[in-house]
Structure 1
Amino acid sequence: MKILTQEEEEVKGGLKGGAVGLCVSLGLSFVAQRYSQFYRNLTLPLKAFLVTSGATAACIISAERAGLNYERQKYGYYKPVIHHDPGRSALTVAKDFVSENRYSVVCGSWALAMVGSIAYTSRNKYLTVSQKVVQARMMAQALTIALILATAGLSMGDKRERKIPAGSYQWKEMVAAEERKMNKVSVK
Protein backbone atom coordinates (compact mmCIF):
# COMPACT_ATOMS: atom_id res chain seq x y z
CA MET A 1 0.00 0.00 0.00
CA LYS A 2 1.40 3.35 -1.03
CA ILE A 3 1.28 6.23 1.41
CA LEU A 4 0.00 9.35 -0.32
CA THR A 5 1.63 12.73 0.08
CA GLN A 6 -0.37 15.77 1.07
CA GLU A 7 -0.48 17.05 -2.52
CA GLU A 8 -1.71 13.70 -3.82
CA GLU A 9 -4.35 13.58 -1.09
CA GLU A 10 -5.51 17.09 -1.98
CA VAL A 11 -5.72 16.22 -5.69
CA LYS A 12 -7.67 13.07 -4.89
CA GLY A 13 -10.07 15.00 -2.65
CA GLY A 14 -10.37 17.78 -5.21
CA LEU A 15 -11.26 15.36 -7.98
CA LYS A 16 -13.91 13.71 -5.82
CA GLY A 17 -15.37 17.06 -4.82
CA GLY A 18 -15.27 18.34 -8.39
CA ALA A 19 -17.13 15.27 -9.65
CA VAL A 20 -19.79 15.59 -6.95
CA GLY A 21 -20.08 19.35 -7.54
CA LEU A 22 -20.41 18.83 -11.29
CA CYS A 23 -23.15 16.23 -10.81
CA VAL A 24 -25.07 18.45 -8.38
CA SER A 25 -24.66 21.55 -10.57
CA LEU A 26 -25.77 19.70 -13.69
CA GLY A 27 -28.73 18.21 -11.84
CA LEU A 28 -29.80 21.62 -10.57
CA SER A 29 -29.32 23.04 -14.06
CA PHE A 30 -31.58 20.38 -15.59
CA VAL A 31 -34.25 20.97 -12.94
CA ALA A 32 -34.05 24.74 -13.40
CA GLN A 33 -34.17 24.35 -17.19
CA ARG A 34 -37.36 22.36 -16.91
CA TYR A 35 -39.21 24.36 -14.25
CA SER A 36 -37.87 27.94 -14.39
CA GLN A 37 -38.69 30.33 -17.19
CA PHE A 38 -36.07 32.71 -15.82
CA TYR A 39 -33.34 30.07 -16.14
CA ARG A 40 -34.45 29.09 -19.65
CA ASN A 41 -34.03 32.73 -20.74
CA LEU A 42 -30.37 32.80 -19.65
CA THR A 43 -27.71 32.50 -22.34
CA LEU A 44 -25.75 29.29 -22.76
CA PRO A 45 -22.43 30.83 -21.59
CA LEU A 46 -24.11 32.04 -18.38
CA LYS A 47 -25.61 28.60 -17.75
CA ALA A 48 -22.20 27.01 -18.36
CA PHE A 49 -20.65 29.51 -15.95
CA LEU A 50 -23.15 28.58 -13.23
CA VAL A 51 -22.49 24.85 -13.68
CA THR A 52 -18.71 25.21 -13.71
CA SER A 53 -18.79 27.60 -10.74
CA GLY A 54 -20.55 24.98 -8.64
CA ALA A 55 -18.11 22.29 -9.70
CA THR A 56 -15.09 24.53 -9.09
CA ALA A 57 -16.29 25.61 -5.65
CA ALA A 58 -16.90 21.99 -4.63
CA CYS A 59 -13.47 20.99 -5.96
CA ILE A 60 -11.67 23.70 -4.00
CA ILE A 61 -13.56 23.04 -0.77
CA SER A 62 -13.05 19.29 -1.02
CA ALA A 63 -9.33 19.64 -1.76
CA GLU A 64 -8.89 21.95 1.23
CA ARG A 65 -10.72 19.55 3.54
CA ALA A 66 -8.67 16.60 2.26
CA GLY A 67 -5.47 18.54 2.98
CA LEU A 68 -6.66 19.39 6.50
CA ASN A 69 -7.63 15.77 7.16
CA TYR A 70 -4.21 14.64 5.96
CA GLU A 71 -2.48 17.07 8.32
CA ARG A 72 -4.70 16.01 11.21
CA GLN A 73 -3.96 12.34 10.62
CA LYS A 74 -0.24 12.92 10.28
CA TYR A 75 0.35 15.46 13.05
CA GLY A 76 -2.66 14.94 15.28
CA TYR A 77 -5.46 17.30 16.05
CA TYR A 78 -5.51 19.49 19.12
CA LYS A 79 -8.87 20.82 20.14
CA PRO A 80 -8.91 22.68 23.43
CA VAL A 81 -11.47 21.73 26.03
CA ILE A 82 -14.49 24.00 25.78
CA HIS A 83 -16.25 24.67 29.03
CA HIS A 84 -19.94 25.24 28.47
CA ASP A 85 -21.41 27.77 30.82
CA PRO A 86 -25.18 27.27 31.15
CA GLY A 87 -25.56 30.92 32.15
CA ARG A 88 -24.34 32.27 28.80
CA SER A 89 -26.75 34.46 26.92
CA ALA A 90 -28.07 33.61 23.48
CA LEU A 91 -26.14 36.58 22.07
CA THR A 92 -22.86 35.21 23.44
CA VAL A 93 -23.58 31.77 22.02
CA ALA A 94 -24.40 33.31 18.62
CA LYS A 95 -21.22 35.43 18.67
CA ASP A 96 -19.12 32.38 19.49
CA PHE A 97 -20.74 30.37 16.69
CA VAL A 98 -20.20 33.16 14.13
CA SER A 99 -16.58 33.71 15.17
CA GLU A 100 -15.81 29.98 14.89
CA ASN A 101 -17.65 29.48 11.57
CA ARG A 102 -17.30 32.90 9.95
CA TYR A 103 -16.41 31.68 6.44
CA SER A 104 -19.27 29.21 6.32
CA VAL A 105 -21.67 31.89 7.53
CA VAL A 106 -20.48 34.41 4.92
CA CYS A 107 -20.62 31.88 2.05
CA GLY A 108 -24.02 30.57 3.09
CA SER A 109 -25.45 34.05 3.45
CA TRP A 110 -24.09 34.99 0.01
CA ALA A 111 -25.88 32.00 -1.51
CA LEU A 112 -29.11 32.85 0.30
CA ALA A 113 -28.74 36.50 -0.73
CA MET A 114 -28.34 35.45 -4.37
CA VAL A 115 -31.46 33.30 -4.24
CA GLY A 116 -33.46 35.98 -2.44
CA SER A 117 -32.33 38.80 -4.69
CA ILE A 118 -33.02 36.75 -7.84
CA ALA A 119 -36.51 36.02 -6.50
CA TYR A 120 -37.00 39.71 -5.70
CA THR A 121 -35.76 41.06 -9.03
CA SER A 122 -37.57 38.43 -11.08
CA ARG A 123 -40.88 40.07 -10.13
CA ASN A 124 -39.96 43.26 -11.97
CA LYS A 125 -41.40 42.82 -15.44
CA TYR A 126 -39.72 45.95 -16.85
CA LEU A 127 -36.16 44.63 -16.53
CA THR A 128 -34.46 42.36 -19.04
CA VAL A 129 -32.97 39.06 -17.90
CA SER A 130 -29.42 40.41 -17.93
CA GLN A 131 -30.48 43.45 -15.91
CA LYS A 132 -32.18 41.17 -13.38
CA VAL A 133 -29.03 39.08 -13.01
CA VAL A 134 -26.87 42.18 -12.54
CA GLN A 135 -29.30 43.63 -9.98
CA ALA A 136 -29.41 40.35 -8.08
CA ARG A 137 -25.62 40.10 -8.04
CA MET A 138 -25.26 43.67 -6.78
CA MET A 139 -27.77 43.13 -3.98
CA ALA A 140 -26.08 39.91 -2.90
CA GLN A 141 -22.67 41.56 -3.11
CA ALA A 142 -23.80 44.47 -0.91
CA LEU A 143 -25.22 42.10 1.69
CA THR A 144 -22.07 39.99 1.64
CA ILE A 145 -19.81 43.00 2.13
CA ALA A 146 -21.97 44.15 5.05
CA LEU A 147 -21.75 40.65 6.54
CA ILE A 148 -17.97 40.50 6.11
CA LEU A 149 -17.65 43.84 7.90
CA ALA A 150 -19.93 42.58 10.69
CA THR A 151 -17.90 39.40 11.19
CA ALA A 152 -14.69 41.44 11.18
CA GLY A 153 -16.19 43.67 13.86
CA LEU A 154 -17.19 40.62 15.89
CA SER A 155 -13.72 39.15 15.66
CA MET A 156 -12.16 42.46 16.69
CA GLY A 157 -14.57 42.67 19.61
CA ASP A 158 -13.59 39.16 20.68
CA LYS A 159 -9.93 40.15 20.79
CA ARG A 160 -10.63 43.21 22.90
CA GLU A 161 -12.65 41.30 25.51
CA ARG A 162 -10.00 38.72 26.29
CA LYS A 163 -7.92 39.53 29.32
CA ILE A 164 -5.66 36.50 28.88
CA PRO A 165 -4.09 35.96 25.46
CA ALA A 166 -5.64 33.11 23.51
CA GLY A 167 -3.70 29.89 23.84
CA SER A 168 -1.62 31.02 26.81
CA TYR A 169 -2.52 27.87 28.74
CA GLN A 170 -2.64 25.48 25.80
CA TRP A 171 0.81 24.17 26.62
CA LYS A 172 -0.40 23.16 30.09
CA GLU A 173 -3.34 21.25 28.61
CA MET A 174 -1.05 19.53 26.09
CA VAL A 175 1.49 18.55 28.76
CA ALA A 176 -1.27 17.20 31.00
CA ALA A 177 -2.68 15.15 28.11
CA GLU A 178 0.76 13.70 27.33
CA GLU A 179 1.32 12.86 31.00
CA ARG A 180 -2.02 11.04 31.13
CA LYS A 181 -0.99 9.06 28.04
CA MET A 182 2.38 8.20 29.57
CA ASN A 183 0.75 7.16 32.86
CA LYS A 184 -1.64 4.84 31.00
CA VAL A 185 1.28 3.25 29.14
CA SER A 186 3.43 2.84 32.28
CA VAL A 187 0.56 1.32 34.30
CA LYS A 188 0.00 -1.47 31.76
Structure 2
Amino acid sequence: MGGGRRAAHGDPGADPRPRRPGRPHRVSTGDDVQLVTFRIAGQDFAFNIFQVERILRYDTPAPLPKAPDFLEGILQYQGTAVPLIDLRKRLGVPAPLREETRIVVLQWDGSKLGIVVDAVTEVLQVVATEVTAPPAIVKGLAAEYITGFIVKDGRTIIVLNTGRLLNSQEKLALETAVQPTGQEKTTA
Protein backbone atom coordinates (compact mmCIF):
# COMPACT_ATOMS: atom_id res chain seq x y z
CA MET A 1 0.00 0.00 0.00
CA GLY A 2 3.02 2.27 -0.20
CA GLY A 3 3.17 5.65 -1.90
CA GLY A 4 -0.13 6.94 -0.58
CA ARG A 5 -1.79 6.44 -3.96
CA ARG A 6 -5.41 5.31 -3.89
CA ALA A 7 -6.96 3.25 -6.66
CA ALA A 8 -9.59 5.06 -8.70
CA HIS A 9 -12.02 2.17 -8.33
CA GLY A 10 -11.66 2.28 -4.54
CA ASP A 11 -12.34 6.00 -4.26
CA PRO A 12 -15.18 7.41 -6.38
CA GLY A 13 -13.64 10.87 -6.16
CA ALA A 14 -10.19 9.81 -7.35
CA ASP A 15 -8.81 10.87 -10.70
CA PRO A 16 -9.65 7.86 -12.95
CA ARG A 17 -6.93 8.66 -15.52
CA PRO A 18 -3.61 6.83 -15.31
CA ARG A 19 -0.90 8.89 -13.71
CA ARG A 20 1.94 9.98 -15.97
CA PRO A 21 5.33 11.29 -14.86
CA GLY A 22 5.12 15.00 -14.19
CA ARG A 23 1.34 14.95 -13.64
CA PRO A 24 0.49 15.26 -9.96
CA HIS A 25 -2.02 12.83 -8.48
CA ARG A 26 -5.23 14.62 -7.55
CA VAL A 27 -7.84 13.22 -5.27
CA SER A 28 -11.16 14.97 -5.45
CA THR A 29 -12.65 16.53 -2.38
CA GLY A 30 -16.03 15.49 -3.74
CA ASP A 31 -16.63 18.97 -5.09
CA ASP A 32 -14.59 18.53 -8.26
CA VAL A 33 -16.01 17.75 -11.69
CA GLN A 34 -14.01 16.12 -14.47
CA LEU A 35 -15.00 16.99 -18.00
CA VAL A 36 -14.01 15.84 -21.48
CA THR A 37 -13.89 19.03 -23.56
CA PHE A 38 -14.37 19.25 -27.30
CA ARG A 39 -14.94 21.80 -30.05
CA ILE A 40 -17.74 22.26 -32.51
CA ALA A 41 -17.48 25.17 -34.97
CA GLY A 42 -14.97 26.94 -32.71
CA GLN A 43 -17.14 26.70 -29.56
CA ASP A 44 -15.96 24.69 -26.55
CA PHE A 45 -18.33 22.08 -25.12
CA ALA A 46 -17.93 19.35 -22.50
CA PHE A 47 -19.39 16.09 -21.23
CA ASN A 48 -18.97 14.75 -17.71
CA ILE A 49 -16.10 12.26 -17.87
CA PHE A 50 -18.17 9.56 -16.17
CA GLN A 51 -20.57 9.52 -19.13
CA VAL A 52 -17.76 9.15 -21.70
CA GLU A 53 -16.77 5.57 -22.44
CA ARG A 54 -14.24 6.11 -25.20
CA ILE A 55 -12.97 8.55 -27.81
CA LEU A 56 -12.46 7.16 -31.32
CA ARG A 57 -11.08 8.46 -34.59
CA TYR A 58 -13.89 9.17 -37.02
CA ASP A 59 -14.93 6.16 -39.04
CA THR A 60 -17.66 6.27 -41.67
CA PRO A 61 -20.80 4.66 -40.23
CA ALA A 62 -23.19 2.34 -42.03
CA PRO A 63 -26.02 4.55 -43.32
CA LEU A 64 -29.61 4.11 -42.21
CA PRO A 65 -32.45 4.72 -44.66
CA LYS A 66 -35.10 7.23 -43.58
CA ALA A 67 -33.01 8.35 -40.61
CA PRO A 68 -33.22 11.90 -39.23
CA ASP A 69 -30.55 14.24 -40.67
CA PHE A 70 -28.53 14.35 -37.44
CA LEU A 71 -28.28 10.52 -37.33
CA GLU A 72 -25.14 9.69 -39.32
CA GLY A 73 -25.73 5.96 -39.18
CA ILE A 74 -24.59 2.95 -37.19
CA LEU A 75 -21.07 2.36 -35.91
CA GLN A 76 -19.81 -1.09 -34.94
CA TYR A 77 -18.23 -0.71 -31.50
CA GLN A 78 -17.12 -3.70 -29.43
CA GLY A 79 -19.45 -6.00 -31.36
CA THR A 80 -22.47 -3.76 -30.85
CA ALA A 81 -24.31 -1.47 -33.25
CA VAL A 82 -24.11 2.06 -31.83
CA PRO A 83 -26.16 4.93 -33.28
CA LEU A 84 -23.94 7.82 -34.38
CA ILE A 85 -25.24 11.37 -33.93
CA ASP A 86 -23.46 14.29 -35.59
CA LEU A 87 -23.71 16.93 -32.89
CA ARG A 88 -22.55 19.54 -35.40
CA LYS A 89 -25.64 18.92 -37.54
CA ARG A 90 -27.76 18.80 -34.38
CA LEU A 91 -26.51 22.32 -33.58
CA GLY A 92 -27.00 23.51 -37.17
CA VAL A 93 -23.33 24.24 -37.91
CA PRO A 94 -21.09 23.05 -40.78
CA ALA A 95 -19.90 19.47 -40.40
CA PRO A 96 -16.69 19.02 -42.41
CA LEU A 97 -14.59 15.92 -41.80
CA ARG A 98 -11.03 16.69 -40.71
CA GLU A 99 -8.10 14.77 -39.32
CA GLU A 100 -9.15 15.94 -35.82
CA THR A 101 -12.80 14.82 -36.15
CA ARG A 102 -13.62 12.37 -33.36
CA ILE A 103 -16.43 10.16 -32.11
CA VAL A 104 -17.19 10.38 -28.39
CA VAL A 105 -18.87 7.15 -27.24
CA LEU A 106 -21.25 7.94 -24.38
CA GLN A 107 -23.17 5.88 -21.86
CA TRP A 108 -26.65 7.03 -22.81
CA ASP A 109 -30.14 6.01 -21.76
CA GLY A 110 -29.07 2.48 -20.76
CA SER A 111 -27.01 1.87 -23.90
CA LYS A 112 -24.33 3.60 -25.95
CA LEU A 113 -24.45 6.56 -28.31
CA GLY A 114 -21.68 7.89 -30.55
CA ILE A 115 -21.34 11.67 -30.92
CA VAL A 116 -19.36 13.26 -33.79
CA VAL A 117 -17.38 16.38 -32.79
CA ASP A 118 -14.79 18.54 -34.57
CA ALA A 119 -12.01 17.75 -32.07
CA VAL A 120 -11.56 16.53 -28.50
CA THR A 121 -9.37 19.03 -26.69
CA GLU A 122 -8.68 17.96 -23.09
CA VAL A 123 -9.79 16.44 -19.82
CA LEU A 124 -10.47 19.27 -17.42
CA GLN A 125 -10.93 19.10 -13.66
CA VAL A 126 -12.81 22.01 -12.11
CA VAL A 127 -14.42 22.81 -8.80
CA ALA A 128 -18.18 22.17 -9.03
CA THR A 129 -18.92 25.77 -7.99
CA GLU A 130 -17.21 26.97 -11.20
CA VAL A 131 -20.11 25.50 -13.20
CA THR A 132 -22.79 28.19 -13.54
CA ALA A 133 -26.44 27.68 -14.50
CA PRO A 134 -27.36 28.31 -18.15
CA PRO A 135 -29.67 31.03 -19.47
CA ALA A 136 -32.92 29.99 -21.20
CA ILE A 137 -31.36 29.50 -24.67
CA VAL A 138 -27.78 29.20 -25.88
CA LYS A 139 -26.34 28.46 -29.35
CA GLY A 140 -29.69 27.12 -30.54
CA LEU A 141 -30.05 24.70 -27.62
CA ALA A 142 -32.71 25.06 -24.97
CA ALA A 143 -31.37 25.26 -21.41
CA GLU A 144 -32.59 21.71 -20.71
CA TYR A 145 -29.78 20.40 -22.97
CA ILE A 146 -27.16 22.25 -20.94
CA THR A 147 -25.87 21.43 -17.47
CA GLY A 148 -24.00 24.72 -17.15
CA PHE A 149 -21.09 26.91 -18.18
CA ILE A 150 -17.49 27.19 -17.15
CA VAL A 151 -15.22 30.12 -17.92
CA LYS A 152 -11.65 28.84 -17.94
CA ASP A 153 -8.57 30.62 -19.31
CA GLY A 154 -10.74 33.12 -21.22
CA ARG A 155 -12.88 30.39 -22.84
CA THR A 156 -16.53 29.71 -22.21
CA ILE A 157 -17.21 25.97 -22.09
CA ILE A 158 -20.80 24.75 -22.42
CA VAL A 159 -21.34 21.59 -20.36
CA LEU A 160 -23.96 19.43 -22.09
CA ASN A 161 -26.52 17.22 -20.38
CA THR A 162 -26.04 13.87 -22.14
CA GLY A 163 -29.41 12.60 -20.98
CA ARG A 164 -31.14 15.43 -22.81
CA LEU A 165 -29.18 15.57 -26.07
CA LEU A 166 -32.30 14.40 -27.89
CA ASN A 167 -35.90 15.29 -27.14
CA SER A 168 -38.57 12.57 -26.92
CA GLN A 169 -39.54 12.89 -30.62
CA GLU A 170 -35.89 12.63 -31.67
CA LYS A 171 -35.37 9.60 -29.40
CA LEU A 172 -38.38 7.92 -31.01
CA ALA A 173 -37.08 8.76 -34.50
CA LEU A 174 -33.68 7.34 -33.51
CA GLU A 175 -35.20 4.12 -32.14
CA THR A 176 -37.37 3.73 -35.25
CA ALA A 177 -34.43 4.28 -37.60
CA VAL A 178 -32.11 1.92 -35.72
CA GLN A 179 -34.61 -0.90 -35.10
CA PRO A 180 -34.80 -3.27 -38.09
CA THR A 181 -38.36 -3.70 -39.33
CA GLY A 182 -40.10 -6.84 -38.15
CA GLN A 183 -37.46 -7.66 -35.55
CA GLU A 184 -37.71 -7.57 -31.79
CA LYS A 185 -35.00 -5.83 -29.81
CA THR A 186 -32.67 -8.41 -28.26
CA THR A 187 -29.88 -8.18 -25.74
CA ALA A 188 -26.66 -10.13 -25.97
Fold shared per TM-score above 0.5: no
- Structure in which a larger fraction of residues adopt strand: 2
Structure (1 or 2) with the larger CA radius of gyration: 1
**TM-score per shorter chain, which class?**
under 0.3
* TM-score, scaled to structure 2: 0.28
- Structure in which a larger fraction of residues adopt helix: 1
